[in-house]
Amino acid sequence: MSLFKQLFIAICVLMLVNFAGSFLVSVEGSREQQVNQLRAHAQDAATALGLSLSPHADDVPMMELMVSSIFDSGYFQSIRVLDADSGELLVERSGVPVSPSAPEWFTRLVDLEAASGDAIVSDGWRQAARVEVVSHPLFAVGKLWQSALGTLMWLALSSLLCVGLGVLFLKRQLRPLEYLVEQSNAIARREFLSLPALPKTPEFRRVVSAMNQMVEKLKALFAEEAARSEKLRADAYEDSLTGLANRRYFDLQLQGRLSGEQASSGFLLLLRINDLAGLNHRLGGKRTDLLLKAVAEQLQLLSQGRHVLARNRGGEFALLAIGLQRDEAEQLAEMLDQALTGLQRSGIADSLPVAHIGLSAFAPGDEAVAIFKAADEALAQAASQTQRNWACREQGQGQQPVDERQEWYRLLDTALSEGRVQLYAQPVVDANQPDRVLHHKVLARLLDEQGNLLPAGSFLPWLERFGWAARLDMGMLDRVLAHLHERDGTVALSLSGSTLRDPQALAGLYEKLRQHAQLGARLIIELDEDQLPAQDELQALAQRLHALGFGMALQHFGGRFSMIGNLAKLGLSHIKVDGSHIRAIDQENDKRLFIEAMQRAANSIDLPLIAERVETDGEWQVLRSMGIVGVQGRLFGEPQPWQ
């Protein structure tokens, strides 16, 4: 039982005891007063009647008349006049003078006895008669009943008022305890809340102050671990001059696009600044650095966060454009060449061409060495040209069909309309107990017209281009919810950024989840790190999902580790570390340091980490030794059709 209920019951019991005691004391006091009044009433009536009858001691009719007059004007049970010598009854009147004004049960309860009085009727010096008067208690019972009702109403109203004020006072005084509960629950959800205004009660003030200190300490520890992890990530994967990724990180991303679940096609763009050493000699180190930064800024402006950017070495930059076709890649190269021409006009660079650009296509299964070789050949071709500063090579492949866009449009539209998207599931297991499945990750496969299954990486870029990503998400969600009604287990389903950015699709998502709220504990919504909305929108999404009873998590995490400081407010179920940071972690020590720092930061807020694309036993052993909660990859199970 809560403290509030205990105190409330104690107040009610105390008020009840006080109410009962006060009522009984009041009624008993009124009863004694009425008894005394009855006695006085009877005695006064007897005395007055005795004096009135003295002149008429021998006139019985007159005595009857006077007794009747007194009896009819008062509340008497009986009036008798007796002869003083013989005791003979001379006059008598008796009966109930009035109708009862109190309930019979109350009359029996108070048990008010009739009171009597007597007086002598004198005839000179002789005692002629004796008057006996008995007052009826009915009138006193009525007065007592009215007094009891008034006392009861007053005590009841005052008790209710006191209980109400007591409840308000308790709620106000115990409000810090409610906030402490909220604080504790927030810590369990990996959120940090502090109570700015300390309560005035000294005991509560000390408790709340201690909780605030603990929360601030946890926040500081988490921020410290996050900053350390971010520094390790920057040292390992970031170029210190331009702020872009370095060649190592770029290679990890390229490898991820050539194989595995994220395999997809696109173009590699290499930009090489001409004669960097000569520029450094002619312009000086500072101006050359400004040129490199300006080129990086132009790449970022053109990319708008859609492509992977990196500075390979010296004056060479790389751009990984996922899902682009040749005409789009050439358009991107032309826009970049024009931007570099603008640098010449601004005076940052020499009058000579700033850089040349080489394009090379890639597809799942290609070798990274061959892709870079084709890009180098394109750079050489661009340097030998005079009309334009860029060239494109596709590793000996011819021009892609002009109607490829129409082919994909027809294929995807038909597949989504006819439900030819098949669901596959891959187990996510406990790192220490591989036979214990934490949940299953739901994956999409597309069945083409020839009956071949296409991985998600091959058709997702086209879905994004056609604006159908939300359409796929809703279809997969419907099938997942239907499956969960039939089978046990927990699953994780990823949503695209298009769904999160579309208010109509998001409203449809909330409505579907609301209709299946009973499945909330068994469905986790996963979001890609590179498709997250703004922090306020992300926090609102997390709160809405939690209110509906569903969990939220991040996948492919690691490229934007600086945002981990905001993750404490989201109450995530888990974070899945991108497989590029896991590959060969048993052989590369700096990767291990980065994951260890990430693990410490996540562990400080009790946030489980799950490693993606674990392919070798060596990787698994290292991850298990670091305390990673879960692992996912072909080592523990291939994606299988979700029957």
- Tell me the per-residue pLDDT of 172-206, one tens digit each, with 9 for 90 and over: 777 777 777 777 776 666 666 776 777 777 777 78
pLDDT averaged over the chain?
Answer: 81
- Mean pLDDT calculated for residue range 553-578: 78
From CA 403, how far away is CA 405, in angstroms rounded?
5
329-382 tens-digit pLDDT: 889 888 988 888 877 666 665 545 568 899 999 888 888 888 999 999 899 888
- Mean pLDDT calculated for residue range 525-529: 91
Q: CB neighbours of 60 closer than 8 A, spacing ≥ 6?
A: 90, 91
219-267 tens-digit pLDDT: 777 777 777 777 777 777 888 888 888 888 888 888 878 877 677 888 9
- Mean pLDDT calculated for residue range 70-85: 75
- Would you identify the CATH topology of the domain 38-154? Translation Initiation Factor IF3 (3.30.110)
- From 25-29, 519-523, 530-534, the region with the lowest mean pLDDT: 25-29
The model's pTM is: 0.66
From CA 225, how far away is CA 73, in angstroms rounded?
98
Tokens of 312: 């390979």
In words, the CATH class of domain 244-393 is alpha beta
**pLDDT of the residue at 490:** 92
SS3 assignment, position 477? helix
Do residues 420 and 414 make contact, with C-beta atoms less than 8 angstroms apart? yes
Please report, for the chain, the start and end positions of each structural domain, with discontinuous segments joined by +.
38-154, 244-393, 404-641
**pLDDT of the residue at 610:** 94
Q: Are strands 126-135 and 245-246 parallel, antiparallel or unpaired?
A: unpaired
Tokens of 390: 């860029």
Return left, alpha or beta for 309; rule: phi > 0 is left, psi -120 to 50 is alpha, else beta: beta
Any idea which architecture 404-641 has in CATH?
Answer: Alpha-Beta Barrel (3.20)
